[in-house]
């Protein structure tokens, strides 16, 4: 039939409707295969990054920390984000707010962090803040650390009114089977 024939006019091919459908089907199939291969490569790359991050993520993650303070032993929750921000909550609520700060790597297994938290009296009146600087050494494994915190107690005018030093022992919080 005339619509299934290939015509050649002056060096140019013209395809009938059936040939055009077959050509479009081939193009779609090749596009699908190419997209599938790209998606598989992307998924493999993401899986590779995820597995590497699980075994060597440094300080990034959530930790439960035992703090040996001058007034006794306490517990804190610390979260270190990959963007260098840092969050702390602890057993000192309601006289100390959650802490917000920043952290950075300073050596192979060494880190420093600083956070600020607001202080309140027993009547929940704001009375100042604390600025805490932390030096952390990762290890002995990937899920533990030890550290020292230097705490500066400050009044409402940000004047230092006291200092203390705290020993820290951290253990990474990990997903447990359901």
- pLDDT by 10-residue block (mean), the chain, 178 residues: 53 63 66 59 48 61 95 94 96 92 96 98 96 97 96 97 97 96
* DSSP state at residue 173: -
- Burial 48-63, CB ≥16 within 10 A → b, else e: eeeeeeeeeeebebeb
- Quote the pTM value: 0.67
| Angle made by CA atoms 139, 111, 59, in degrees to the nearest 5 | 60
Q: What is Dmax (Cα atoms) for the chain? A: 98
Nearest to residue 143, comparing CAs of 106, 174, 97, 176? 174
* DSSP state at residue 46: H
| pLDDT confidence of residue 7 | 54
| pLDDT confidence of residue 47 | 42
Which residue do the tokens 């609520």 mark? 93
| pLDDT confidence of residue 46 | 44
Q: Which residues pair with 65 in a beta bridge?
A: 76, 170
| pLDDT confidence of residue 94 | 86
d(CA 119, CA 175): 33
| pLDDT confidence of residue 12 | 59
């Amino acid at each position: 039939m005339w619509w299934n024939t290939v015509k050649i006019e002056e060096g140019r091919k013209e395809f009938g409707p059936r040939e055009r459908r077959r050509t479009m089907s081939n193009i779609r199939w090749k596009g699908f295969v190419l997209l599938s291969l790209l998606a598989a490569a992307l998924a493999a790359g993401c899986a590779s990054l995820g597995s590497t991050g699980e075994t060597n993520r440094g300080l990034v993650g959530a930790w439960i920390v035992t703090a040996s303070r001058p007034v006794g032993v306490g517990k804190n929750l610390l979260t270190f984000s990959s963007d260098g921000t840092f969050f702390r909550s602890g057993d000192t609520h309601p006289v100390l707010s959650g802490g917000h700060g920043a952290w950075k790597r300073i050596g192979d297994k060494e880190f420093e962090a600083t956070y600020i938290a607001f202080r309140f009296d027993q009547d929940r009146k704001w009375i100042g803040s604390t600025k805490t600087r932390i030096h952390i050494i990762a290890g002995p494994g990937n899920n533990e650390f030890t550290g020292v915190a230097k705490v500066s107690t400050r009044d409402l005018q940000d004047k230092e009114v006291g200092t203390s030093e705290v020993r820290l022992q951290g253990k990474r919080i990990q997903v447990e089977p359901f």
